[in-house]
Amino acid sequence: MSQSNSVGLIDLQIMWNRLIAVVEEQAQTLMRTAFSPIVRECGDLSAGVFDLDGRMLAQAVTGTPGHVNSMAESVKHFLRYFPIDGMRPGDAYITNDPWMGTGHLNDFVITTPCFRQGRLVALFSCTSHLMDIGGIGFGPDATDVFMEGLYIPMLKLIDQGKVNETLMAMIRANTRLPVDTEGDVYSLAACNDVGCRRLVEMMDEFGIDTLDALGAHIVTRSREAVVAEVGRLPKGTWRNSMTVDGYDTPVTLRAALTVSDAGIHVDYTGTSPTSRYGINVPLAYTTAYTVFGLGCVVATHIPNNAGSLGPLTITAPLGSILNAAKPAPVATRHIVGQMLPDVVFGCLRQVIPDRVPAEGTSCLWNLNVRGMVKGGEGGKYGFSMTVTSNGGTGARPDKDGLSATAYPSGVRGTPVEIAETQTPLIFWRKELRPDSGGAGRTRGGMGQTIEIASGIDETFEILAAFDRIDHPPRGRDGGVNGAAGYVGLKSGQKLKGKGFQEISPGERMVVLTPGGGGIGDPRQRRQADVARDVADELVSTETAKELYGMEPPLAAE
């Protein structure tokens, strides 16, 4: 098939699917080669291919919305700093600028130009979370972004195949985990290279010289599909607000969602101002999770790309916690940013209640642990790890919520075996938390009970970044709230939900992740479902009697 000939719709659709397969292999390469367990085991990454205007044409299925949808904008920033006509084969560019990348310094973004027969045809970009990039560490205690770690502006990482050794030396010198951090940089570059090779093979196979026709098809069809879905919704403006814990004071998130013929716009006017601590959110990350929440409801089966994202627009006042200006601290921007799907769901449930869940835990309950182990230079060496853990999602109108599931993030929980291999910690308990899912006609998902301690005679540190402790996920339409989160010591001392704290040897830290909210009157729940929950030890007999009106015998059918 020659580029000069008209390309048929069937050919375009086949190439579109092939392009998605190309970026999925790109993502899988990153997972297989990454050093950080949060990437290798949990999939905290993004990968995608872009046209020469910086439009995302396809994203890997593997990845998180915060990375994917903010990376979708970051490539345009790369093009401002590195124009197309200056790119050469073998080049690669890097940044972790929170306002031009994916929202905090721990995420490195690498963009690589792809050449075919000496001609630039596309750009590949990828992102992953690095365990440690120096500074105060991956917690919310910093009071400006410069305390949070190494800040890499838009730089050339590789120049026509030659690595920028000065930059790599700077990166190694500014992390507690130099081997892991350097390895992750090379894994990011390698996955882009794989994507480039597979794209060139695809273009050779189909006999096309550019992605112009395919890109136009992808963007146009995707945009049309989203506009058509939006067109089925009632027109108007709906409002919702949600209060979360914040750091030292509660944070209120306010949204006004407007449905029009052109698409959906969400405005966050009235949201709390920027915090002094690192829970602030750059606008790109606010946009990323807001449009993901909208897409889950109105564009479920439409591939994610520049076309499908176009009709979904976001604004937030500069200086609000959802549009924090540099140099605001942003290390744990996910704590607030991942609440945004629930905020927009609160607007949409006034329009289409049968398609929207109740509130869930939303933000990840990551165990950011750090400490020292005897041995190595100076008698000790350090460890640092983010152990991903999750609470329950909100009940769905026709189904229960999911237990211990990271929605909207999508990352998998870190296996205990991996955490105990990478750190000297021992996990004494990790199990579902009974009665944590909010009761309802459909029940909220369950949280977890996690109990950990140091396996050596050394203190370890927890950089706490938890929420939904003072403000648990809300039920709706008569459904009960999910259980609130908790963090403390087995001895009885309650710990702070946010901030640096130490756990002494011999103490066990107890973490109770929240449950999701329920939907509807609990007494309308099928008795067989209640009995099954009791048999599975998800619901206690007391709760079955008090909230669900269940009478003995409580046996599943």
Where does the pLDDT of residue 557 fall: very low under 50, low under 70, confident under 90, or very high at 90 and above?
very low
Mean pLDDT, range 186-201, rounded to an integer: 98
Residue corresponding to tokens 């500069």:
318
Instruction: Determine the residue type at 415.
Output: P
- Tell whether the model's pLDDT for residue 232 goes beyond 70: yes
Given this model, what pLDDT does residue 521 score? 98
The pLDDT mean for the chain works out to 95
What does DSSP assign to residue 399? B
- Tell whether the model's pLDDT for residue 553 goes beyond 90: no
Neighbours of 115 (CB within 10 A): 17
Assigned token pair, 375: 């041995």
Where does the pLDDT of residue 377 fall: very low under 50, low under 70, confident under 90, or very high at 90 and above?
low
Domain boundaries, the chain: 9-223, 357-525
Residue corresponding to tokens 């540190």:
461
Structure pTM? 0.95
Residues 124, 112 contacting (CB under 8 angstroms): yes
The pair phi, psi for residue 220, each rounded to 5°, is -65, -50
Given this model, what pLDDT does residue 6 score? 62
Residues 309, 281 contacting (CB under 8 angstroms): no
Of 432, 429, 361, the C-alpha closest to 395 is 361
- Tell whether the model's pLDDT for residue 183 goes beyond 70: yes
Tell me: the pLDDT tens digits for 496-536? 999 999 999 999 999 999 999 999 999 999 999 999 999 99
Residues 45, 62 contacting (CB under 8 angstroms): yes
Residues 440, 478 contacting (CB under 8 angstroms): yes
Mention every residue, 6+ apart, whose C-beta is less than 8 A from residue 527: 548, 550
Instruction: Determine the residue type at 512.
Output: L
Please give the sequence-ordered ranges of beta strands (E in DSSP) within 34-181, or none if there are none.
Answer: 45-50, 56-59, 92-95, 107-116, 119-129, 155-159, 162-163
Where does the pLDDT of residue 550 fall: very low under 50, low under 70, confident under 90, or very high at 90 and above?
confident
Where does the pLDDT of residue 5 fall: very low under 50, low under 70, confident under 90, or very high at 90 and above?
very low
Q: What is the CB-side half-sphere exposure of residue 27 using CA atoms within 13 A?
A: 24
- Tell whether the model's pLDDT for residue 382 goes beyond 90: no
Mean pLDDT, range 389-404, rounded to an integer: 98
Distance CA 60, CA 15 (A): 15
Give CA torsion, residues 233, 235, 236, 241, to 10 deg: 10
Q: Angle, to 10 degrees, between the axis of helix 212-231 and the axis of helix 9-33?
A: 90
Given this model, what pLDDT does residue 380 score? 65
Give CA torsion, residues 100, 106, 107, 108, to 10 deg: 90
- Give the chain's count of helices (H) and strands (E): 13, 19
The pair phi, psi for residue 263, each rounded to 5°, is 155, -155
Given this model, what pLDDT does residue 2 score? 40
